[in-house]
Structure 1
């Protein structure tokens, strides 16, 4: 089976995930910032800088994944951001109580264990995309 047949859906799924997440947060930006402010891991950070930074990175990933010339960078950034989000959620879930979820849309409705598994699956998809991209373009 050609690697492109696996890589194309991975890029598509990651693009959809980051576009959906960014739009959902942007549409209810006040809630996003409010919930982010309640996070025990983010209390010392300036939300007026962090919140738009998160949105900017999510939209940047979508843009990078959209073009062949920047797709490798988009896959790498997707992997690191998903890994960071997964570690962040896992830390909140296992070490804190009364934990907020600043995720927008349907993702905010997931239980923490389900959300962690969801993120881990997308982290693995992004890692697979990076490996397939490198292998595919090494020829």
Structure 2
């Protein structure tokens, strides 16, 4: 049963990060433009940050899909989702009219929905970490 739960979590997280990376890559110039509008990212070089974000998303998918690296993938996913949830919450509560640079349907979600969505995936990633610790 635990193996099936882990498989479902891997599929869900892999779908999320694959979808996010593809949409960011498909309209890369919009992704860069939206990142440039973030008051929390003004000090960072978007030409380094943007490919780093997409690369990290794809790395998580790769790590999750091999049993030898799955636990690391869950840890990285948990960290990324927690940081991004905090990032979105900060934008929502302290700034106004900041576009989300997620792309696709994720970028169209209202901030409160997106924050809850991210927290759910953070919990899924944490569950994956805990279940893989017991393996």
Runs of 4+ residues over 3 Å off in structure 1: none
C-alpha deviation, 1:47, in angstroms: 0.3
Correspondence for 1:21: 20
Counterpart position of 1:88: 87
Partner in structure 1 of residue 6 of structure 2: 7
Measure how far apart 1:37 and its partner are: 0.3
C-alpha offsets along residues 45-82 of structure 1, whole Å, 9 cap, x if unaligned? 10000000000100100110111111111010000000
Could you tell me which runs of 5 or more consecutive residues in structure 2 were left unpaired when the two chains were aligned.
none
Shift of 1:7: 1.0
1:6 CA drift (Å): 1.1
Q: Does 1:125 align with 2:97?
A: no
Q: Does 1:98 align with 2:97?
A: yes
Root mean square deviation of aligned Cα? 0.6
Q: Match for residue 44 of structure 1? A: 43
Q: Secondary structure at the match of 1:69?
A: coil
Q: 1:100 Cα deviation (Å)? A: 1.6
Separation of aligned partners in 2, 1:107 and 1:100: 11
SS in 1 for 2:18: helix
SS at match of 1:42: coil
CA–CA distance in 1 between the matches of 2:22 and 2:97?
A: 26
Give the unaligned 5+ runs of structure 1.
Answer: none
SS at match of 2:39: coil
Distance 1:98 1:16 in 2: 28
TM-score when normalising by structure 1: 0.95
Q: Deviations over 1:17-48 (max 9, x none)?
A: 00000000000000000000000000111000
